[in-house]
Amino acid sequence: MKRRQNSPQIITLNDVKSLLNQSDLYGLITEGFIQHSKGNAVIPPVGELLFDNPPGEAHIKYGYIKDMPYYVVKIASGFYNNPLIGLPSSQGLNLLFDCKTGVLLAIILDEGHLTNVRTAVAGAVATKALANSGAKRVGILGTGTQGYMQYHYLSEYMDIESVSYWGIDKDQTENLVNKINATNSIAKSEDSIEKLCAESDIIITTTPATQYLIKSSWIKPGTHITAVGSDTPDKCELDSNILMSADIVVSDSIEQSKTRGEVYRARLAGYNATNLLELGNVLNMPNSIRTDSNQITVADLTGVAVQDLMVSQAVYNAIID
């Protein structure tokens, strides 16, 4: 007798937000990166659609970790003019399958929220691993969803004294600063990227820029930079000389960095990647990778499917428990 296949779980955005609170997101994302760097993850090249009018992109990321029960297929998009018509810029869904049978177990209608969360948590994990232990002043470029979420998850993971924002839309920047100040945190807006860099121990970039925003000469000794905006071949937020002169550069996936991100753009400019490490290997080290508080460190995060797998299976396991 053939076994009857049950219908997949339909998990909505409200379910996702509730269920994520039951999970150790930092631990899950850390473990995903470690397994990836150990060679235990099967991650094919990113599928990608780029749009010109209006500007937007859709990413398809998929994969599994050996000896784990699920594989994931994630579709996430960003259409940057959406807020002008009353829609969020991020959209998407995650599909979770049984690794042994291929049965679809869950359709997670997260509207891009899981991608936003896993990106922000990865930023926090990388920043804590690489920044100086006394780093407390954060500067963030970009005031969209990721600009806020990077601060939100980092402030849960590290003791942050203040955050400064630079954004193209001044009203949006002020609104975000006011939102953060209303939580009894200290936030301010900054008109000058150079000044933001001078006043920050940690710099996080979250924009879709295609030309660099930060010059190498603006980075002071001891600074850590986490770059999350450059996740396609065309995007770039950092002067390539920053990576060339940095003491340590870390990529979430060295293989993926050959085709996208700050490392990719720097390679085109002559970067030889002799200071490049993979994030999972850094996270698996017993001690800090830093050997000097004056070292400049960079994390280039383009987003890896192990992140999508870890958060998707956390949501699914929470709903079936």
Distance of CA 253 to the CA centre of its chain: 12
Counted domains in the chain: 2
Check whether residue 167 and residue 192 sit in a common domain: yes
In sequence order, the β-bridge partners of residue 62 are 73
DSSP 5: P
Mean pLDDT of 124-132: 97
Q: Output the pLDDT for position 3.
A: 53
Mean pLDDT of 60-84: 95
**How much of the chain, in percent, has pLDDT values that exceed 90?**
92
Check whether residue 144 and residue 191 sit in a common domain: yes
* pLDDT grade for 89, boundaries at 50, 70 and 90: confident
Check whether residue 63 and residue 194 sit in a common domain: no
Check whether residue 99 and residue 206 sit in a common domain: no
Mean pLDDT of 21-26: 92
Please state the pTM of the whole predicted model. Answer: 0.94
In sequence order, the β-bridge partners of residue 137 are 162
Check whether residue 206 and residue 133 sit in a common domain: yes
Alpha carbons 39 and 77: distance in angstroms, whole number: 28
Residue 96 lies inside a defined structural domain of this protein: yes
For position 190, which CATH number holds? 3.40.50.720
Q: Which of 36, 56, 53, 52 has its CA nearest to residue 44?
A: 36
Distances 45 to 97, 165, 259, 305 between C-alpha atoms, Å: 19, 33, 9, 10
Check whether residue 109 and residue 190 sit in a common domain: no
List pLDDT tens digits, range 262-302: 999 999 999 999 999 999 999 999 888 999 999 999 999 99
- Which range of residues forms the domain containing residue 277? 123-303
* pLDDT grade for 56, boundaries at 50, 70 and 90: very high
Mean pLDDT of 61-68: 97
> Count of CB atoms within 10 A of residue 64's CB?
20
Check whether residue 134 and residue 19 sit in a common domain: no
Check whether residue 258 and residue 299 sit in a common domain: yes
pLDDT at 10 over 70: yes
